[in-house]
Amino acid sequence: MANEVQKEKVTAAASLTILSEEETMFRESVRQFAEERIRPLVSKMDHDAVLDASLIQGCFDLSLMGINIPEAYGGAGSSFFMAVLAVEELSRIDPSLGVFVDVQNTLVNNAIIRWAREDQKRRYLTQLSACMVGAYALSEPSSGSDAFGLQCEARADGNYYVLNGRKLWITNANEAGLFIVFANANPGAGYKGITAFLVEKGLHGFTIGKKEDKLGIRASSTCELILEDCRIPKENVLGAVGQGYKVAIETLNEGRIGIGAQMVGLAQGALEYAIKYTKERRQFGKSISEFQGVQFQLAEMAVELEAARLMVYNAARLKDAGHSYVKEAAMAKIFSSDAAEMITSRTVELYGGYGYTRDYPVEKFYRDAKIGKIYEGTSNMQLQTIAKLILAR
């Protein structure tokens, strides 16, 4: 028995870094798409602050928008780990496309797969697999880290709920056709009144508001939502009334792994630029990569990146295996966002003055990296989660 347990542990450890043939082929197909289709448009999308429509369609064509949606609903029927690989590879070229695919898979699709009724799954998962972009609307002007302090209310009115309030920082808002909106259907019950609703774009009383002018991931749309007497059929409640807080908590735990993958991907992209440039840049008669001081910096960057990747892969593998992964997800997110910020900063420094200009791509990675410590739970919130879990032992 002891030998069998040890064998399982070894196999699990090896699986973190060794990809199956299917996983390897999938990663290569995403990388090819990113290199051939996304890379030529990165600078323009960042400047214009908008995703190219052809790339959105390309993500659907490559089945990247329904990776873990069961085949019965038109999805690829694959694993959560595959979604992590896709986000990583896309973010290596453009983190804006990475988070676009991430929100669809780790937040929207996952929430519906887990909490929706069969008729809701058939109605929405089939569209999310084929042509519909999803968004996840939890944050509000007065409730960020304190997500359960939301003010958006849902009042019962016959066969409908009437929603009123504002949502803020909603990723994919401009492109989305479906929003998972959280509102309180019983404010007197506190967080136990929070309920998740499936809200389609175009409903009367539902408006996409201001688009934020951001520091990084500029091509990814981040907007406010305005709900003014927006009538939602009761059949569009996701899960049960009052279960919204459970939907939010469980989905965000998965989403943090996706953000970790985004940070790993962008850090990989930055490191590749750093290695290439230090080999080409010559000072004092030789390439700067021959200087030990530069070599040590590159080595430290590589170590941080590999550690971050292992933590993200570990959390994703645990999730797919049905094991507890909340602590590991929080650890992966905080570590990978720290690593991404360090690696992109070092890359800018290694480029010298060139790194500080927009003529070179590395300053964009530096700008993009900062969001990793902020969205889907700030670094302080991750530390709080980790501390609670290790102290509860």
User: How far is it, in rounded angstroms, from Cα 184 to Cα 194?
Assistant: 4
Type and span of the H or E element at 170: strand 160-171
| Beta-carbon contacts of residue 267 (< 8 Å; ≥ 6 apart) | 301, 304, 305, 308, 336, 339, 340, 343, 344, 365, 369
Do 124 and 178 touch, CB atoms closer than 8 A? yes
Q: Is 22 helix (H, G, I), strand (E, B) or coil?
A: helix
The helix (run of H) or strand (run of E) holding residue 196 is: strand 194-200
Q: What is the pLDDT of residues 75-110, one digit of tens each?
A: 999 999 999 999 999 999 999 999 999 999 999 999
What local confidence, expressed as pLDDT, does residue 167 receive? 98
Neighbour tally for 153: CB within 10 Å: 17
Please give the radius of gyration of the chain, using alpha carbons only, rounded to the nearest integer.
21
- The whole-number pLDDT of residue 250 equals 93
Which tokens in the block code for residue 164?
Answer: 């009123």
Positions annotated as catalytic residues are: 376
If we measure between CA atoms, which residue out of 96, 84, 188, 170 comes closest to residue 134? 170
Neighbours of 113 (CB within 10 A): 16
Residue 5 burial by Cβ neighbours in a 10 Å radius (0-12, 13-18, 19+): exposed
Domains and CATH numbers, the chain: 2-132 (1.10.540.10), 135-242 (2.40.110.10), 245-391 (1.20.140.10)
The pLDDT of residue 8: 46
Reported pTM: 0.95
Q: How far apart are CA 239 and CA 370, in angstroms?
A: 34
Contacts of 254 (CB under 8 A, 6+ apart): 80, 106, 107, 110, 319, 329
DSSP assigned state of 109: I
Interatomic CA distance for residues 17 and 52, integer angstroms: 33
* pLDDT value of position 142: 87
Judge whether 121 and 73 are in contact, CB under 8 Å. Answer: yes
pLDDT digits (tens, 9 = 90+) for 197-211: 999 999 999 999 999
Asked whether residue 247 carries a pLDDT value surpassing 50, the answer given is yes
In tens, the pLDDT along 306-339 reads: 999 999 999 999 999 999 999 999 999 999 999 9
d(CA 50, CA 78): 29
Distance CA 326, CA 184 (A): 25
Percent of the chain predicted with pLDDT > 90: 93
334-379 pLDDT, tens digit each: 999 999 999 999 999 999 999 999 999 999 999 999 999 999 999 9
pLDDT tens digits for 11-33? 444 456 689 999 999 999 999 99
**Rounded to 5 degrees, what are φ and ψ at 133?**
-90, 140
Q: Give the other-Cβ count within 10 Å of 46's Cβ.
A: 20
Count of other CB atoms within 10 angstroms of residue 118: 7
- Which two tokens mark 197? 């609703």
Give the pLDDT confidence of 129-146 residue by residue, as tens digits. Answer: 999 999 999 999 988 888
At 29-83, the pLDDT tens digits run 999 999 999 999 999 999 999 999 999 999 999 999 999 999 999 999 999 999 9
CA distance 175 to 53: 9
Task: Please provide the DSSP assignment of 198-233 as one string.
Answer: EEETT-TTEEEEEEP--SS-TTS-EEEEEEEEEEEE
